[in-house]
Amino acid sequence: MISINTDLRRKILENNEDIKKCYQCSTCSASCPVLKYDPDFNPRILIIKALYGSEDTLKSKEFWKCLSCDRCNERCPQGVNPYNVLLKLKNFLFSQNLAPKERIDARELIITSGFSYPISSAVNRKRESIELEALESIGEELKKIVGTEGAE
Protein backbone atom coordinates (compact mmCIF):
# COMPACT_ATOMS: atom_id res chain seq x y z
CA MET A 1 0.00 0.00 0.00
CA ILE A 2 1.24 3.47 -0.86
CA SER A 3 0.82 6.26 1.63
CA ILE A 4 0.47 9.77 0.25
CA ASN A 5 3.03 12.29 1.44
CA THR A 6 1.23 15.53 0.62
CA ASP A 7 4.23 17.78 1.28
CA LEU A 8 6.45 15.76 -1.01
CA ARG A 9 3.67 15.54 -3.59
CA ARG A 10 3.28 19.32 -3.56
CA LYS A 11 7.03 19.82 -4.10
CA ILE A 12 7.02 17.35 -6.99
CA LEU A 13 4.08 19.04 -8.68
CA GLU A 14 5.62 22.52 -8.44
CA ASN A 15 8.04 21.84 -11.30
CA ASN A 16 6.47 18.81 -12.97
CA GLU A 17 2.98 19.74 -14.16
CA ASP A 18 2.97 17.08 -16.91
CA ILE A 19 2.86 14.34 -14.31
CA LYS A 20 -0.79 15.23 -13.60
CA LYS A 21 -1.79 14.49 -17.22
CA CYS A 22 -0.90 10.81 -16.88
CA TYR A 23 -4.00 8.65 -16.81
CA GLN A 24 -2.07 5.40 -16.37
CA CYS A 25 -2.75 3.88 -19.79
CA SER A 26 0.54 1.93 -19.64
CA THR A 27 1.65 2.88 -23.16
CA CYS A 28 4.98 4.06 -21.73
CA SER A 29 5.51 0.72 -20.05
CA ALA A 30 4.60 -1.22 -23.18
CA SER A 31 7.16 0.85 -25.10
CA CYS A 32 9.96 0.60 -22.54
CA PRO A 33 12.93 -1.64 -23.46
CA VAL A 34 14.17 -1.63 -19.85
CA LEU A 35 10.92 -3.16 -18.57
CA LYS A 36 11.41 -6.11 -20.93
CA TYR A 37 14.57 -7.04 -18.99
CA ASP A 38 13.88 -5.58 -15.56
CA PRO A 39 10.34 -5.90 -14.20
CA ASP A 40 11.22 -3.57 -11.31
CA PHE A 41 11.49 -0.64 -13.72
CA ASN A 42 8.00 0.33 -14.81
CA PRO A 43 7.58 3.96 -15.90
CA ARG A 44 3.83 3.93 -15.28
CA ILE A 45 4.24 2.67 -11.71
CA LEU A 46 7.09 5.08 -11.01
CA ILE A 47 5.01 8.01 -12.22
CA ILE A 48 1.95 7.16 -10.12
CA LYS A 49 4.03 6.49 -7.02
CA ALA A 50 5.87 9.78 -7.51
CA LEU A 51 2.52 11.51 -7.96
CA TYR A 52 1.50 10.11 -4.57
CA GLY A 53 4.72 11.40 -3.06
CA SER A 54 6.02 7.93 -2.19
CA GLU A 55 9.35 8.64 -0.51
CA ASP A 56 10.38 4.97 -0.66
CA THR A 57 9.94 4.97 -4.43
CA LEU A 58 11.79 8.24 -4.84
CA LYS A 59 14.72 6.93 -2.81
CA SER A 60 14.86 3.69 -4.80
CA LYS A 61 17.32 3.17 -7.63
CA GLU A 62 14.55 2.51 -10.15
CA PHE A 63 14.41 6.05 -11.60
CA TRP A 64 18.03 5.76 -12.63
CA LYS A 65 17.50 2.76 -14.90
CA CYS A 66 15.86 4.78 -17.70
CA LEU A 67 17.81 4.48 -20.98
CA SER A 68 16.58 7.88 -22.22
CA CYS A 69 15.47 6.25 -25.47
CA ASP A 70 12.37 8.50 -25.61
CA ARG A 71 10.07 5.71 -26.86
CA CYS A 72 7.62 6.46 -24.05
CA ASN A 73 7.37 10.08 -25.16
CA GLU A 74 6.85 9.17 -28.81
CA ARG A 75 3.91 6.93 -27.97
CA CYS A 76 2.20 8.69 -25.04
CA PRO A 77 -1.38 9.52 -26.10
CA GLN A 78 -1.70 12.26 -23.46
CA GLY A 79 1.49 14.12 -24.34
CA VAL A 80 2.78 13.54 -20.82
CA ASN A 81 6.36 12.96 -21.99
CA PRO A 82 7.18 10.29 -19.39
CA TYR A 83 10.90 10.63 -20.14
CA ASN A 84 10.80 14.32 -19.24
CA VAL A 85 8.76 13.55 -16.12
CA LEU A 86 11.40 11.05 -14.98
CA LEU A 87 14.19 13.49 -15.83
CA LYS A 88 12.54 16.23 -13.76
CA LEU A 89 12.06 13.75 -10.93
CA LYS A 90 15.78 12.92 -11.04
CA ASN A 91 16.64 16.62 -10.89
CA PHE A 92 14.22 16.98 -7.99
CA LEU A 93 15.90 14.08 -6.20
CA PHE A 94 19.26 15.81 -6.56
CA SER A 95 17.83 19.08 -5.26
CA GLN A 96 16.35 17.32 -2.21
CA ASN A 97 19.51 15.26 -1.61
CA LEU A 98 17.56 12.04 -2.22
CA ALA A 99 19.62 10.78 -5.18
CA PRO A 100 21.63 7.58 -4.64
CA LYS A 101 25.19 8.19 -3.45
CA GLU A 102 26.74 6.69 -6.58
CA ARG A 103 24.79 9.17 -8.74
CA ILE A 104 25.90 12.09 -6.61
CA ASP A 105 29.50 10.84 -6.84
CA ALA A 106 29.22 10.48 -10.63
CA ARG A 107 27.86 14.02 -10.93
CA GLU A 108 30.73 15.36 -8.82
CA LEU A 109 33.28 13.50 -10.94
CA ILE A 110 31.88 15.03 -14.12
CA ILE A 111 31.85 18.51 -12.57
CA THR A 112 35.42 18.26 -11.29
CA SER A 113 37.10 16.37 -14.14
CA GLY A 114 34.78 16.55 -17.13
CA PHE A 115 34.73 12.75 -17.40
CA SER A 116 32.12 10.22 -16.33
CA TYR A 117 34.77 7.77 -15.11
CA PRO A 118 38.03 8.29 -13.25
CA ILE A 119 41.05 8.82 -15.46
CA SER A 120 43.82 6.64 -14.08
CA SER A 121 47.38 6.10 -15.18
CA ALA A 122 46.25 2.68 -16.48
CA VAL A 123 43.72 4.35 -18.77
CA ASN A 124 46.36 6.71 -20.09
CA ARG A 125 48.88 3.89 -20.62
CA LYS A 126 46.27 2.00 -22.63
CA ARG A 127 45.51 5.12 -24.68
CA GLU A 128 49.20 5.69 -25.34
CA SER A 129 49.62 2.05 -26.42
CA ILE A 130 47.08 2.66 -29.18
CA GLU A 131 48.64 6.02 -30.05
CA LEU A 132 46.04 8.26 -28.41
CA GLU A 133 46.90 11.27 -26.29
CA ALA A 134 46.75 10.99 -22.53
CA LEU A 135 43.58 12.39 -20.99
CA GLU A 136 43.76 15.26 -18.56
CA SER A 137 41.08 16.77 -16.37
CA ILE A 138 39.02 19.38 -18.18
CA GLY A 139 37.21 20.51 -15.05
CA GLU A 140 38.44 24.12 -15.22
CA GLU A 141 37.67 24.41 -18.92
CA LEU A 142 34.26 22.83 -18.33
CA LYS A 143 33.49 25.42 -15.65
CA LYS A 144 34.20 28.17 -18.18
CA ILE A 145 31.98 26.54 -20.80
CA VAL A 146 28.98 25.96 -18.54
CA GLY A 147 29.42 29.23 -16.69
CA THR A 148 30.10 27.88 -13.21
CA GLU A 149 33.55 29.43 -12.90
CA GLY A 150 33.78 31.24 -9.60
CA ALA A 151 30.39 29.89 -8.48
CA GLU A 152 31.92 27.92 -5.63
pLDDT tens, residue by residue, 138-149:
877 777 777 765
Closest CA to 141 of 118, 117, 111, 120: 111
pLDDT tens, residue by residue, 121-133:
998 999 999 999 9
Can you name the CATH fold of 6-95? Fumarate Reductase Iron-sulfur Protein; Chain B, domain 2 (1.10.1060)
pLDDT tens, residue by residue, 10-43:
988 888 888 888 999 999 999 999 999 999 899 9
pLDDT tens, residue by residue, 97-108:
888 888 889 888
> What does the pLDDT read at residue 41?
92
Q: Where are the domains of the chain?
A: 6-95, 101-146
Closest CA to 60 of 36, 28, 86: 86
pLDDT level of residue 1 (50, 70, 90 thresholds) = low
pTM: 0.75
Element (H, E) at 98: none
> What does the pLDDT read at residue 53?
86
Backbone angles phi, psi at 34, to 5 degrees: -65, -40
